[in-house]
């Protein structure tokens, strides 16, 4: 299976520019069929920036954040710096998987994809994830850094632990639930004025501020059994709707605030 | 080549059924009407890709299950609970008051027995309705289980939310929620699955599953929620699991506080 992946990748992907000291670009030829494509990328260390553009191919630019520039002579020989992150892409149908095998070094990525694209992004360390001008399903997990979505349409499932989340939606998919969670960071979401949604929000130690008029919805009761005793309680969320009932949007954090803006 | 002829041959061109000469003619005709060769080629390649793409077949298991359900329903309909035939109405005129009273008593008795008799039929009809409801539930369950395996987190969240529609979840649903809680690649999906499982926390296997999953979690929000749940359930068996998590030096300080608190209260 992996071999098949690599084979197709080697056919479709070719390194266009290859220089020792500047950023490098990987061009992935991608034939978009009726279904939009999906890009999966887990960056072991570093940031990810994905921008939707009018082109057809996927352009991946990678760059070491801390460049090795030491020029010295060892045993009378010149040292050649190795600033070359190990990246490759696997293409299978509509799915594109980008891989970065450089361990230990921080590599920042700038990726351009066609506008109608779904993304599954993860930064494991030391970087922010930025997504701009994309129309599709956006899934981002970034433990340490921020998640920033600008001018996106569709739906998003975002989670961070120490970073803040900021998302500006141009349009939303009226059938998709969404979820935004962070542990320590603020969550700021901007939705179009006319969306219909059911919101479930909770900030354990922060504030919730909203431009929207949120109509409270009755909370559901929960029954738990504790050693022959039944305990009835209401679910511990702020539940409300924007305009009329719609898909459920869950927004939750612990130490940060929640801001809801109208666009 | 006339416009009409080109129109007629367009489909053949797309399916590749034309001889090279004919193809050339049609292409030339199209070019005259302002469609460039490159465009035609790109349309052709797309149509070829579509032709070649195998359309996904429903899995054999799904097929079997579907047909089994239909067969089952057919069989039941054939064997069928006997339908209640409408009774003929009698028009009888009784003359004497004595007979009227007797008839009254007889009617009363008849009513008495009839109510007993009808009472035994109604459950059968109810059963049919119940069977149907069960089957709809089964289909919905199959749908939920399939959706939980989708690669899109949105679909998986939808599936987890749908489990709330079942009054009483069966083992398969609970097992798959547990799988999501322990193995899902997305921490947000794990969090909704955890909240969905609270509904079944009175079941011993769910309790044990929740306790066992404490060690599998890395998301602070999930860890915190588990601590809250264990406190609410007064579940002492969770203490050793929490203590294991507390040994992790990189644990978030807020989670550490909460887990310490939980351990102290539960012990």
Interface test with chain A among B44, B46, B47, B154, by most A beta carbons within 10 Å: B154
From A136's Cα to the closest Cα of chain B, the distance in A is: 11
Q: Does B153 touch chain A (CB under 8 A)?
A: yes
Give the whole-angstrom CA distance, residue B259 versus residue A89: 42
Q: Does A54 touch chain B (CB under 8 A)?
A: no
Please write the tens of the pLDDT for every residue from B135-179.
Answer: 888 888 888 888 888 888 999 999 998 888 777 767 888 999 999
**A-chain residue closest to B219, CA distance:** A161
Task: Kindly give, in sequence order, each residue whose CB lies less than 8 Å from that of residue A216, ignoring residues fewer than 6 positions away.
Answer: A238, A239, A240
Predicted pLDDT of residue B75: 72
Q: Determine, for residues B198 and A224 on separate chains, whether the beta-carbon distance falls below 8 Å.
A: yes
A96's tokens: 């594109």
Q: Determine, for residues B161 and A248 on separate chains, whether the beta-carbon distance falls below 8 Å.
A: yes
Give the whole-angstrom CA distance, residue B25 versus residue A16: 39
Predicted pLDDT of residue B92: 46
Residues from chain A contacting residue B199 (CB–CB below 8 Å): 222
Distances in Å between the alpha carbon of A224 and those of A232, B116, B233? 6, 41, 7
What SS3 class is residue B19? coil
Q: Determine, for residues A222 and B186 on separate chains, whether the beta-carbon distance falls below 8 Å.
A: no
B-facing residues of A in 74-133 (CB < 8 A) are 118, 120
Max Cα distance, chain B (Å)? 105
Predicted pLDDT of residue B234: 86
**B-chain residue closest to A228, CA distance:** B202
From B182's Cα to the closest Cα of chain A, the distance in A is: 17
A104's tokens: 């230990």
Q: Does A144 touch chain B (CB under 8 A)?
A: no
Q: What is the mean pLDDT of each run of 10 residues along chain B (267 residues)?
A: 66 70 76 70 66 61 74 67 43 57 75 62 75 82 85 90 79 90 92 89 88 91 91 89 90 90 90
Give the whole-angstrom CA distance, residue A209 versus residue B73: 54
Q: Determine, for residues A33 and B161 on separate chains, whether the beta-carbon distance falls below 8 Å.
A: no
**A-chain residue closest to B186, CA distance:** A141
The beta-strand segments (E) located in A101-164 are 107-114, 117-123, 129-132, 135-142, 147-160
Residues from chain B contacting residue A176 (CB–CB below 8 Å): 154, 158
Residues from chain A contacting residue B192 (CB–CB below 8 Å): 179, 250
A-facing residues of B in 70-89 (CB < 8 A) are none
Predicted pLDDT of residue A12: 43
CB-based burial label for A56 (10 Å; 0-12, 13-18, 19+):
exposed
* Pair type for strands A135-142 and A117-123: parallel
Using alpha carbons only, what angle is made at residue A178 by residues A173 and A182, rounded to the nearest 5 degrees? 145
Predicted pLDDT of residue A234: 72
CB nearest B221 (choices: A118, A139, A183): A183
CB distance A200 to A238 below 8 Å:
yes
Tracing tokens 């289909």 back to the chain, one arrives at B139
A14's tokens: 């070719």
CB-based burial label for A158 (10 Å; 0-12, 13-18, 19+):
buried
Predicted pLDDT of residue A11: 41
Q: Determine, for residues B154 and A250 on separate chains, whether the beta-carbon distance falls below 8 Å.
A: no
Predicted pLDDT of residue B82: 43
Query: So what's the ipTM on this one?
Result: 0.84
Predicted pLDDT of residue B1: 58
Which is nearest to A159 in space by CA: A138, A140, A144, A134? A140
CB nearest B153 (choices: A31, A157, A183): A157
Q: Helices B97-147 and B60-79, interaxial angle, to 10°?
A: 170
Q: pLDDT tens per residue, chain A (263 residues)?
A: 554 544 444 444 444 333 344 567 889 887 766 778 999 999 999 999 999 999 889 999 998 888 877 788 888 898 888 778 888 999 988 899 999 988 888 999 999 999 999 999 999 988 999 999 999 999 999 989 999 999 999 999 999 999 999 999 999 999 999 999 999 999 999 999 999 999 999 998 999 999 999 988 877 777 776 667 777 777 778 899 999 889 999 999 999 999 999 98
A-facing residues of B in 14-73 (CB < 8 A) are 46, 49-50, 53
Using alpha carbons only, what angle is made at residue B145 by residues B143 and B148, rounded to the nearest 5 degrees? 105
Predicted pLDDT of residue A74: 86
CB nearest A224 (choices: B158, B219, B232): B232
Predicted pLDDT of residue A17: 36
Question: What value does the CA radius of gyration of chain A take, rounded to a whole number of Å?
Answer: 22
Predicted pLDDT of residue A182: 94
Q: Determine, for residues B161 and A183 on separate chains, whether the beta-carbon distance falls below 8 Å.
A: no
Q: Does A181 touch chain B (CB under 8 A)?
A: yes
Put simply, whether the predicted model's pTM sits higher than 0.90 gets the answer no
Number of H helices, E strands in chain B: 12, 0
Interface test with chain B among A203, A254, A255, by most B beta carbons within 10 Å: A254
């Amino acid at each position: 299976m992996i071999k098949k992946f690599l084979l197709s990748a080697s056919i479709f992907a070719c390194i266009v520019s290859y220089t020792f000291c500047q950023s490098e670009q990987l061009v992935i030829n991608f034939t978009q069929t009726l279904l939009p494509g999906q890009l999966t990328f887990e960056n072991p260390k570093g940031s990810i920036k994905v921008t939707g553009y009018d082109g057809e191919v996927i352009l991946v630019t990678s760059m070491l954040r801390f460049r090795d520039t030491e020029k010295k002579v060892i045993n009378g020989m010149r040292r050649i710096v190795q600033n070359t992150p190990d990246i490759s892409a696997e293409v299978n149908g509509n799915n594109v998987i980008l891989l970065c095998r450089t361990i230990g070094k921080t590599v920042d990525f700038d990726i351009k994809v066609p506008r109608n694209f779904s993304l599954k992004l993860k930064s494991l360390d030391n970087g922010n994830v930025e997504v701009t001008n994309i129309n599709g399903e956006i899934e981002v997990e970034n433990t340490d850094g921020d998640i920033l979505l600008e001018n996106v349409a569709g739906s998003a499932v975002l989670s961070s632990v120490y970073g803040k989340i900021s998302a500006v939606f141009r349009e939303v998919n009226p059938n998709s639930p969404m979820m935004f969670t962070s542990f320590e960071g603020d969550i700021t979401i901007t939705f179009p004025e006319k969306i219909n949604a059911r919101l479930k929000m909770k900030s354990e130690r922060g504030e919730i501020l909203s431009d929207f008029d949120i109509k409270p919805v009755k909370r559901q009761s929960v029954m738990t059994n504790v050693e022959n005793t039944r305990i009835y309680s209401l679910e511990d969320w702020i539940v409300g709707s924007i305009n009329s009932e719609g898909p459920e949007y869950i927004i939750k954090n612990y130490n940060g605030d929640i801001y809801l803006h109208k666009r | 080549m006339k416009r009409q002829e080109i129109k007629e041959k367009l489909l053949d061109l797309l399916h590749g059924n034309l001889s090279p000469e004919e193809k050339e003619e049609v292409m030339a005709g199209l070019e005259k009407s302002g469609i460039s060769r490159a465009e035609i080629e790109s349309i052709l390649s797309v149509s070829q890709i579509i032709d070649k793409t195998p359309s996904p077949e429903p899995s054999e298991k799904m097929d079997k299950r579907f047909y089994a359900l239909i067969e089952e329903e057919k069989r039941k309909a054939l064997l069928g609970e006997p339908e209640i035939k409408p009774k003929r109405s009698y028009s009888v005129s009784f003359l004497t008051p004595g007979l009227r009273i007797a008839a009254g008593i007889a009617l009363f008795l008849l009513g008495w027995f009839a109510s007993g008799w009808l009472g035994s039929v109604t459950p059968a009809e109810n059963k049919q309705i119940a069977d149907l409801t069960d089957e709809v539930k089964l289909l919905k369950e199959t749908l939920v289980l399939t959706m939980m395996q989708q690669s899109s987190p949105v679909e998986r969240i939808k599936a987890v939310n749908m489990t709330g529609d079942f009054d009483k979840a069966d083992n398969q649903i609970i097992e798959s929620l547990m799988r999501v809680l322990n193995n899902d690649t997305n921490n947000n999906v794990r969090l909704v699955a955890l909240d969905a499982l609270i509904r079944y926390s009175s079941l011993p296997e769910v309790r044990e599953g929740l306790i066992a999953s404490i060690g599998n979690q890395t998301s602070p929000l999930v860890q915190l929620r588990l601590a809250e749940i264990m406190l609410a359930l007064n579940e002492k068996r969770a203490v050793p699991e929490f203590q294991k998590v507390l040994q992790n030096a990189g644990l978030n300080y807020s989670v550490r506080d909460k887990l310490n608190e939980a351990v102290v209260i539960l012990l």
